[in-house]
Structure 1
Amino acid sequence: MNAKTRIVSINNVEKGMVIAKDVEENGKLLLKKDSTVTELIIEKLKTVIFVGNIEIYDLKEENEKLEEKKKIQCYKIKNKKSIIKSMKNLN
C-alpha cells in the first residue's frame, strides 16, 4: 500500500482502520502491518494495557479523492445521456 500514514493513540483507533506498521510491545508482535482493525482487536489492545501509538494508513484522503472521482464519472455519464436524449428529440 502506498498511502500516507498517521500516528494515532490507542484511544483513537477505530474499527476499519488499517495498520501501516507492525505493532509491538516489549518485542512481542501484537498486530501485523496491513491488518484491518476490528472491535475485538481494539478490546485486546486495551486489555494488554497497550499504551503506545499506532501508525495507520490515512485512507480518509484517499477515500475523498475516490468519491470525487466517482462523482465526476457519474456527472459525465448523466451528461452523455442528456446529449443522446437531446439528439434523439431532434429527429
Structure 2
Amino acid sequence: MSSEVARFREQYELEYQAAKRGLEGVAIVASHQFITKRMENMWEQFQHLVHEVGQAEAHRMIFGESLEQQEEQNPTSQQVQGKDASSPDIAKEEQ
C-alpha cells in the first residue's frame, strides 16, 4: 500500500507541475484543453489516494493540512449549495 500511495502522490505532483507549466511556462499558450486534462488527472490521483488512505489523510498528504484545519479557516468551503463538497454529485458538477 505504501508504494502505491507514493506512486499516486508522485503522479499527482507531475500533473500539477504540467498544469502549472501550461499556465506559467515560457510559452504560456497552453490550450485550455491541456490544462483541463491535467486538472482532471490530478482529481483522479486524489481520488485514488482517498481510496487508499481516506479523505482526511489524502487531503493532508496533498495540501499539507487536515480537513479540520481548513474548515476552521473557511467553514463554508466544504459546502456547495448545502451539499458536502466530497460527495460524488458535487465532484461531477465541478468537472
Mark yes or no: TM-score above 0.5: no
TM-score of the superposed pair, with normalisation by structure 2: 0.27
Higher helix proportion: 2
Please state which structure has a larger fraction of its residues in strand: 1
The structure with higher relative contact order (CA 8 Å, sep 6+) is: 1
The TM-score, its normalising length taken from structure 1, stands at 0.28
